[in-house]
C-alpha cells in the first residue's frame, strides 16, 4: 500500500465533548450494497465495527464523531454501530452481521491487521466499501485512514528520553496487545529507545487503554518501590498523574495524549513536566466522509492516508500555547480534544456533544 502524506490536510483543533455511546442496532438501509456511486440525494447506510475500548473516552468520541458527520452529510439514512470488547474472532462475526444487514459501507477500528481479511473480502465481494480507521488492515480493496501511530509514539518517546537527560528507567504503558495501533506505537517507541542507549525499561504494562487498569498498575509499581525516572503512556495519562499525586510520589516526566484532563494538568499542576501528543478521535468522522466520497464515485488514488501528530510540551512557549488553545477544563478528563479534522469534518461542537446519528431520537 502506498502512503499519502497530507499533513496540511489534517489539523486537530478546539475541544471535544461526547456522550458515552453504546451498541446500536438497526435494520438495513433500503439501498444496502448499492455500489460505488449514487445520484443526488442518495441515502446510504453505514456500519461501524469497534472491537474494544468500551468506556474509553477516545473510542466513544470516535463513534460520536462518526454519527455527527453522518447527520451533517445529509445523505446517510442510518449508522449501525457494533461496539463491544471482543477479539478478532468476535469482530469477524460483527463485520459479517453488518454485511448481512446490507449496509453500503463498513468502517472498522480493527482488532488486527490481517485477522479480519476474510470478512473484509466478503464485504468487498458484496460491493460494500470498507474503511479501516485508527489502525490499518492489509486486505486488498480496503482503504486505511489512520493517525500515524508509529510517529505518535516516536515523538512522545523522543521528547521523554530527552527530558530524562538521556538516562534512567522508564515505565512503558502500552494499549491493547495485538491491536495494530499498539503494534505501530511499539515500533515507534522501540525506534526512539534504540536512539537513546542510556534509557532502560523499568516495567512494561499492558493497560488495555483502560484508566482503571492503568491506575492499578502504576499503584502496584509505586507500592513495590520500583524506581522509575519517566513514564510513557498510550493515552492513559491524567489518572497516572492523579495516582502519583495521591501517593505523594515525586513527579517524573510523563507523555500522554491530548486528553482534556491531562492537558489541564500540564497547564496547572505545579512541578509536572510533560507533553501531550495529538491523536484526534474524529478520525471516525473522517472515515464516514471518505466512505461517502467513494460511494459517490470519488475514489482516492491512494489506499492509505495518515494523520500527522503534533507534540505539545509544557516546557516551551509553542507547546504551552497549543495546550492553552486546546484546553477545556469543563470536559470529562478522559475525553480527547481533537474536535475536527480539516477538510474531513463539518459538524459543530454541539452536534458532536449530542452524539446522535441519522434517525436517532
Give the pLDDT confidence of 105-158 residue by residue, as tens digits: 999 999 989 999 999 999 999 999 999 998 889 999 999 998 899 999 999 999
The helix (H) or strand (E) run that includes residue 311 is strand 311-313
| Average pLDDT for the chain | 87
The domain spans of the chain are 3-147+281-308+339-354, 149-277
The b-or-e profile of 76-88 (16+ CB within 10 A means b, else e) is bbbbbbbbbebeb
280 secondary structure, DSSP code: -
Decide if pLDDT at 7 tops 80. no
CA-CA distance, 68 to 165, in Å (whole number)? 44
Superfamily of domain 3-147+281-308+339-354: Response regulator (3.40.50.2300)
For 56, 57, 259, 276, 353, the CA distances from 332, given in Å and listed in that order, are: 11, 9, 9, 17, 12
29 secondary structure, DSSP code: P
Superfamily of domain 149-277: Response regulator (3.40.50.2300)
Q: pLDDT tens, 85-108?
A: 999 999 999 999 999 999 999 999
Q: CB atoms < 10 A from the CB of 304, how many?
A: 16
Polymer length in residues for the chain: 361
In three-state form (DSSP H/G/I as H, E/B as E, the rest C), the secondary structure along 122-144 is HHHHCCCEEEEECCCCCCCCCEE
CB-based burial label for 249 (10 Å; 0-12, 13-18, 19+): middle
Q: pLDDT tens, 148-204?
A: 999 999 999 999 999 999 999 999 999 998 888 899 999 999 999 999 999 999 999
Q: What confidence category does residue 41 fall into, taking pLDDT thresholds of 50, 70 and 90?
A: low
Q: What confidence category does residue 33 fall into, taking pLDDT thresholds of 50, 70 and 90?
A: very low
The b-or-e profile of 133-147 (16+ CB within 10 A means b, else e) is bbbbbbbeebbbbbb
Q: pLDDT tens, 11-24?
A: 222 222 222 232 33
Q: What confidence category does residue 38 fall into, taking pLDDT thresholds of 50, 70 and 90?
A: very low
Domains 3-147+281-308+339-354 and 149-277 share a fold: yes
Amino acid at each position: 500500500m502506498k502512503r499519502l502524506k497530507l499533513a496540511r490536510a489534517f489539523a486537530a483543533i478546539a475541544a471535544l465533548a461526547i456522550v458515552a455511546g453504546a451498541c446500536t442496532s438497526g435494520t438495513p438501509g433500503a439501498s444496502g450494497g448499492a455500489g460505488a456511486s449514487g445520484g443526488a440525494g442518495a441515502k446510504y447506510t453505514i456500519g461501524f465495527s469497534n472491537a474494544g475500548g468500551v468506556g474509553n473516552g477516545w473510542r466513544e468520541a470516535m463513534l460520536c464523531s462518526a454519527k455527527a458527520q453522518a447527520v451533517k452529510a445529509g445523505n446517510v439514512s442510518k449508522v449501525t454501530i457494533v461496539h463491544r470488547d471482543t477479539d478478532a474472532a468476535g469482530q469477524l462475526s460483527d463485520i459479517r452481521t453488518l454485511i448481512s444487514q446490507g449496509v453500503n459501507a463498513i468502517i472498522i477500528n480493527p482488532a488486527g491487521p490481517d485477522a479480519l481479511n476474510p470478512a473484509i473480502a466478503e464485504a468487498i465481494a458484496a460491493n460494500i466499501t470498507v474503511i479501516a480507521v485508527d489502525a490499518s488492515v492489509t486486505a486488498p480493496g480496503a482503504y486505511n485512514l489512520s493517525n500515524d501511530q508509529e510517529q505518535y509514539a516516536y515523538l512522545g518517546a523522543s521528547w521523554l528520553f530527552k527530558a530524562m537527560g538521556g538516562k534512567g528507567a522508564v515505565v512503558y504503558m502500552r494499549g491493547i496487545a495485538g491491536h495494530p495501533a499498539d503494534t505501530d506505537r511499539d515500533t515507534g517507541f522501540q525506534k526512539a529507545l534504540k536512539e537513546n542507549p542510556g534509557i532502560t525499561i523499568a516495567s512494561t504494562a499492558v493497560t488495555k487503554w483502560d484508566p482503571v487498569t492503568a491506575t492499578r498498575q502504576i499503584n502496584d509499581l509505586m507500592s513495590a518501590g520500583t524506581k522509575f525516572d519517566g513514564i510513557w503512556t498510550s493515552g492513559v495519562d491524567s489518572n497516572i498523574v492523579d495516582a502519583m499525586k495521591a501517593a505523594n510520589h515525586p513527579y517524573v516526566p510523563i507523555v500522554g495524549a491530548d486528553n482534556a484532563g491531562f492537558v489541564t494538568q500540564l497547564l496547572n499542576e505545579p512541578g509536572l513536566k510533560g507533553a501531550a501528543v495529538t491523536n484526534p478521535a474524529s478520525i471516525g468522522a473522517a472515515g464516514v466522509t471518505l466512505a461517502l466520497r467513494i460511494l459517490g464515485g470519488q475514489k482516492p488514488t491512494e489506499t492509505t492516508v495518515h494523520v500527522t501528530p503534533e507534540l505539545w510540551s509544557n516546557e516551551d512557549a509553542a507547546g504551552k500555547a497549543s495546550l492553552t488553545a486546546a484546553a477545556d477544563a469543563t470536559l470529562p478528563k478522559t475525553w480527547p480534544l481533537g474536535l475536527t479534522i480539516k477538510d474531513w469534518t463539518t459538524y459543530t461542537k454541539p452536534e458532536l456533544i449530542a452524539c446522535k446519528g441519522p434517525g436517532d431520537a
